[in-house]
């Protein structure tokens, strides 16, 4: 199961450049049964390794914008730390259902950006470059909390608010996501929120999957495929919300039942 998850997620990443955290986290929580914080940490390391393999395929013959990459990272890296620490605090209980619900909402929300109507202002970044780090800050926070968002949200930001060509956007965003994945992996490794066994199995399927996806990318209509991937990611995010909500209601019901039992069993003098 874990090898198959690694293969198909990496295949989607190789074909479109997006989808790593949006698929991996729900799969690890819902199918493998990892706690939310460990699923995010494992997904971070896995996505970083897949992006590292995919980078030469996407950057060969294309360009990236070093200045915009630096501006994005100035805002996103502090946000990454904030999001990681927030996840760490909220995950005090290993199976905190609220973390699962928030993860699901963030994954579904970031994936739905793909369907948002375009609002292009190509000269914005050139004239207002000081705002780019602030626009990248929430992207970093979401990436730190859910391991997702850097690809989809970074692409939308660069396509709509900079004068870069689509090839430059692809190259810049790929490097942006790669740097965030490497730094995020270091944070989660330090916190010990990574499952080494699951990571190895994901990589066993992911390495051939991402190579095959990158090779096939030139023949597959990536735009239509991105919409399909975004739709599946939204469904996966909503499934996390549903799963977390059921668990939360179950905990409240159990606590209420336990309270009623204690009252019923209390001595009459104390009633």
DSSP string, 105-172: HHHHHHHHGGGSPP---TTHHHH-GGGHHHHHHHHHHHHHHHS-SHHHHHHHHHHHHS---HHHHHHH
In a domain, 114, yes or no: yes
Q: In the structure, what pLDDT confidence band is assigned to residue 132 with cuts at 50, 70 and 90?
A: confident
39-53, 71-85, 239-253: least confidently modelled range: 239-253
In a domain, 269, yes or no: no
Q: Is the pTM of this model over 0.85?
A: no
Number of structural domains in the chain: 1
Q: Which residue has the tokens 């992996």?
A: 185
* Distance (Å, whole) CA 22 – CA 212: 20
Residue 235, pLDDT above cutoff 80? yes
In a domain, 258, yes or no: no
In a domain, 251, yes or no: no
In a domain, 95, yes or no: yes
In a domain, 26, yes or no: yes
In a domain, 259, yes or no: no
In a domain, 45, yes or no: yes
3-state secondary structure of 11: helix
Give the range of the structural domain holding residue 186, as residue numbers without chain letter.
2-246
* CA atoms in the 13 A half-sphere facing the CB of 111: 29
């Amino acid at each position: 199961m874990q090898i198959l998850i690694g293969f198909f997620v990496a295949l989607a990443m190789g074909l479109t450049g997006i989808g790593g955290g949006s698929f991996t986290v729900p799969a690890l929580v819902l199918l493998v049964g990892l706690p939310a914080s460990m699923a995010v940490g494992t997904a971070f390391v896995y996505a970083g390794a897949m992006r590292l393999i995919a980078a030469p395929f996407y950057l060969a013959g294309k360009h990236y914008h070093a200045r915009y990459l630096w501006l994005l990272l100035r805002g996103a890296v502090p946000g990454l730390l904030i999001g990681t620490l927030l996840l760490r605090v909220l995950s005090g209980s290993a199976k905190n259902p609220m973390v699962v619900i928030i993860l699901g909402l963030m994954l579904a929300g970031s994936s739905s950006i793909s369907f948002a109507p375009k609002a292009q202002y190509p000269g914005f970044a050139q004239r207002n470059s000081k705002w780019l780090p602030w626009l990248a800050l929430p992207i970093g926070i979401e990436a730190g909390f859910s391991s997702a968002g850097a690809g989809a949200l970074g692409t939308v930001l660069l396509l709509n608010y900079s004068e870069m060509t689509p090839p430059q956007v692809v190259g810049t965003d790929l490097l942006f996501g790669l740097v965030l994945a490497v730094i995020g992996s270091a944070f989660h490794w330090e916190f010990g929120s990574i499952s080494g066994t699951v990571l190895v199995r994901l990589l066993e399927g992911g390495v051939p999957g991402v190579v095959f996806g990158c090779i096939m990318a030139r023949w597959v209509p990536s735009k239509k495929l991105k919409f399909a991937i975004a739709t599946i990611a939204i469904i996966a995010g909503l499934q996390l919300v549903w799963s977390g909500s059921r668990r939360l209601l179950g905990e409240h019901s159990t606590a209420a039942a336990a309270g009623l039992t204690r009252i019923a069993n209390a001595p009459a003098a104390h009633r």
